[in-house]
Amino acid sequence: MSLLITFDLDNTLWDVMPVITRAEYAMESWFEERFPGFYRNFGGDYQLTVRQHILNKQPELSADLTNLRLKMYQQVLKSFGLPSEEANLVAQSALAHFCEWRQKVDLFPHVNEVLSELVQDYRLAVITNGNADVFHPYVGLGQYFEFAVRAEHLGVAKPEPQLFLHAAKQADVTPEQVIHIGDHPIDDVQGAANAGARSIWFNRHGARRWAEDWGTSSHAEVHSLLELPSAIQSLAL
């Protein structure tokens, strides 16, 4: 049976927190170079408050993190005192700078090794709620994947089944022919189940135990990416 193996990105192929932390530091420097003193009153906590206010008014933006960040920058810059037109232009430049830093990931060990092995036998794709671009040169994994399904492009986020169904349709396979790999018990495991696909839970180092309120468990569990080829093969039989 032809299989499509789909991957989550953040916390599955790399640790996302250091990426975001570095990007936010870079943004602090970016703003301070242009508007000295900006971050004292319009930095981290203030931006988080504005972000939440925007989400309260437009909850659908939770599936479009890039647009959400753009709107946050626009609002913060207007609060800083920039006219609307200038604030919008500066926000676009700020977003571009953030997105560049967002791609500067540090891959988990064995990512290239495992993907190189898997792509020999399976079709690979990405399903992500985040705004990392697997085809960006900084990420450097585009050679392994046929395509990426991103929540911001569909307007819905995992665990909604649409992302998994979209991936299956794009690959011309049935949901039953999709095996999704991800770290998140709800977004990845339950999301795949919602679409009728199978899943492998990436529980790195076996640090967590499955909680009853997470719902139906995955079809397999791995603690290292090196275990993936065997886990996928067992499900393919």
The DSSP result for 79-138, as a single string, is HHT--HHHHHHHHHHHHHHHHHHHT---BPTTHHHHHHHHTTTSEEEEEESS---TTSTT
Q: What is the pLDDT of residue 2?
A: 86
- What's the domain range around 60? 17-102
Tokens of 33: 């170079």
Select from 102, 119, 140 the last residue of a domain.
Answer: 102
Count of structural domains within the chain: 2
Q: Are residues 97 and 113 in the same domain?
A: no
Task: Write down the pLDDT at residue 215.
Answer: 84
Q: Which of 102, 118, 136 is the last residue of a domain?
A: 102
pLDDT at position 1: 56
The label of the residue with tokens 């064995």 reads 110
Q: How far apart are CA 198 and CA 216, in angstroms?
A: 11
Q: Please give the pLDDT value at position 87.
A: 96
Looking at the fold, whether 177 and 223 belong to one and the same domain comes out as yes
Going across the sheet that includes 220-222, the strands are 148-150, 123-128, 4-7, 178-182, 198-202, 220-222
How would you write the pLDDT of the chain (237 residues) with one tens digit per residue? 589 999 999 999 999 999 999 999 999 999 999 999 998 899 889 999 999 999 999 999 999 999 999 999 999 999 999 999 999 999 999 999 999 999 999 999 999 999 999 999 999 999 999 999 999 999 999 999 999 999 999 999 999 999 999 999 999 999 999 999 999 999 999 999 999 999 999 999 998 998 888 888 999 999 999 999 999 999 987
